[in-house]
Structure 1
Amino acid sequence: MSDLYGADAYSPVEIARRIESVGEAKARLGVWPLALLGVLAGAFIGLGAMLFVLVKSDPSLGFATSALLGGLVFSTGLFMVVVAGAELFTGNNLIVMAWADGRIGARLVLRNWGVVCLANGVGAVGLALLVFASGHTDLNGGAVGQQVVKMALAKQDLSFGTALVRGILCNILVCMAVWMAMAGRSVVDKAVAVMLPVMAFVAAGFEHSIANMYLMPLAMLVQHEASAATALPLVTWSGVLGNWVAVILGNLLGGAVLVAGVYHVIYRRQPPA
């Protein structure tokens, strides 16, 4: 079957086996390595989001151009996670395949998700603090900072249901990017596999929980510095947490159920005796 996909690529059946093996290893990883790799992943995704904002802050670009180019540069974050090695909550939703095949228990899955999600948040917020301190948001006459706040306010204003659905759609594409990257044998293979799905979810305006953990705290820092007397609406912690809860749940449903669950049924579920 692998011949259908070329000698240099793993077939979907082989990818499913690899996802399960990698998922089991991730679930059994010690807490401290898991947490440190999670911090790195949060920072990597934050770097991708930083580049995305830079593109979107240029008013000379048309809507479609800025959306697609912004999505392309955002893929830098997931590419770094896949190639450099890091633990990303959204990609780790694929661990469900190892659980469904009985290779790990639910406790290990939940431990992985909990530790990694928190560590991703630390990495993303930590990067936001560093980026703000660097003066990056002052670039382009302050347009970068204004764009960050604009994006964060739009995310805060989403209803729970809309944020949930956008989170589902986002992580379908993110997990497909990780899935397809597992088919590649070279760095170039992985770059191509990651780039297109990530570009698609970013350009479509879907919601990635870890990217939001970078963007929304950064927006709060920018607006705090701008003016205490501003009449503009503000990004608030209640708005931030409301977005994060909805998007995290959506990401889980999209990745764990609609990608990992579906592929487990197709390729890995054993017929009843």
Structure 2
Amino acid sequence: MPDQDPPPGPADLRPPERIAEAATRAGVKKATLDWPVLAVLGVLAGLYIGLGGLFSTVALAGAEGAMPHGAARLLAGLAFSLGLVLVVVGGAELFTGNTLLVVAWAEDRARLRDIGAAWALAWGANLLGALAAVGLALAAGVPAMGEGAVGAAALKAAQAKGALPFGQAFASGVLANILVCLAVWMAWGARSAADKVLVVVPPVAAFVALNVEHSVANMALIPLGWGVRATADAGFWAATGLSPAAFGEAGPGGLVANLVPVTLGNLLGGVMVGVAYWFAYLRPRPDG
């Protein structure tokens, strides 16, 4: 397999088979990153996705009853795509996108234990970064924006996610990461920053519009609702007409109950994408 791409063509895009080769090279590099580097880049990825989640929450604030459901979800998806754009263009290590490292293992160019360790470290670092985004948002008073509309949107999202049944959360996680990994896969085929943005936004907007579950996004969205419930004063509850008793799943229990099935679903969805493209473009052919 050649290690370098040929000079850019008129379209300045890699064809699918070259994307598969780029995915292998990326997988080898990511599976062998120094752990301190991976940890720092993982924290950044969690922070970036957390910022996307905050942007999406602000976009949805007050939309209930004021916009058609589909239009509101699409708006939230376009806002959330900021997070993956920052990861892809800025450079960071996101657990969900890194499930595509399975391509390097299938090509026998990375060990499964190294990939598993990279997944685990990225997941933990993503959690720290997402929590940092939430902490900063709470300290900055973001939930109070719009007379509490942002905080109310955060509470409702956290409650809904924490209350999902295991099977639904798992299937939702599979679907979400199929779309996220397609965005990452296509970004490997783009060579300019503008092209990367163009190919990342539609799949990410689709997964948010479909309201399916992304583990790293939920590392921010559920704690944001949890933080709002824990810190809101009587004025917030009066202004929003909500009650803290109605949001029992917007807390630690809801976070764990969501992240376990969603993480497993995300892992399966990403591996499915990687294995499918490996089979199509990289597997050894009987004719040589």
State how 1:233-244 maps to structure 2 within 5 Å: 233-234=247-248, 235-244=250-259
Counterpart for residue 250 of structure 1: 265
The one-letter code matched in structure 1 to 2:281 is Y
User: What is the DSSP-based 3-state SS (H/G/I as helix, E as strand, rest coil) of the residue aligned with 2:189?
Assistant: coil
Q: Name the structure 1 match of 2:204.
A: 198
Aligned residue type for 1:264: W
After superposing the two structures, state which structure 1 stretch, 55-64 or 79-88, moved more: 55-64
Match of 2:237 in 1: none
Aligned to 2:113: 107
| Partner residue, 1:259 | 273
Residue 136 (structure 2) pairs with residue 122 (structure 1)? no
Q: State whether structure 2 residue 43 is matched by structure 1 residue 29.
A: no
**Mapping of residues 10-89 of structure 1, within 5 Å:** 10-59=14-63, 60-89=66-95
Aligned twin of 1:8: 12
The 8 Å contact of residues 223 and 251 in structure 2, kept in 1 or not, is answered as no
- Structure 1 segments unaligned to the other structure (5+ residues): none
Are positions 1:163 and 2:177 aligned together? no
Q: What is the identity, as a one-letter code, of the residue corresponding to 1:161?
A: G
Give the aligned CA root-mean-square deviation in angstroms.
1.6
The question of whether the paired residues in 1 share the 8 Å contact of 2:155 and 2:247 is answered with: no
Letter paired with 1:232: A
CA deviation vs aligned residue, 1:65-112 (integer Å, no higher than 9, x gap): 111111011101000000010000000000000001100111110110
Separation of aligned partners in 1, 2:260 and 2:244: 28
Q: Supply the distance in 1 between the matched residues of 2:189 and 2:139 (Cα, whole angstroms).
A: 40
Distance in 2, Cα, partners of 1:139 & 1:233: 20
TM-score, normalisation: structure 2: 0.90
How far apart in 2 are the matches of 1:87 and 1:218? 22
1:236 to partner: Cα distance: 2.9
Q: TM-score, normalised by structure 1?
A: 0.95
Q: How far apart are 1:227 and its partner, in Å?
A: 5.7
Partners of 1:52 and 1:91 in 2: CA distance? 20
Matching residue of 2:239 = none
- 1:254 alignment partner AA: G
Letter in 2 for 1:87: E
Deviations 1:124-178 (A, max 9, x none): 0111011001000000000100110100110111100000000000000000000
Aligned residues: 269
Return 64-73 or 78-87, whichever deviates more. Answer: 64-73
What is residue 270 of structure 1 aligned with on the other side? 284
- Measured after TM superposition, the shift of residue 6 of structure 1 is 5.3
The one-letter amino acid paired with 1:27 is A
Deviates more, 1:56-65 or 1:40-49: 56-65
Unaligned runs of 5+ in 2: 1-5, 235-242
Task: Give identity over the alignment, percent.
Answer: 44
Correspondence for 2:153: 147
Q: Distance in 2 between matches of 1:230 and 1:204?
A: 27
Range that drifts further, 137-146 or 218-227: 218-227
Give the C-alpha shift of residue 183 in structure 1.
Answer: 1.1
Tell me how far apart the structure 1 counterparts of residues 206 and 221 of structure 2 sit (CA, whole Å). 19
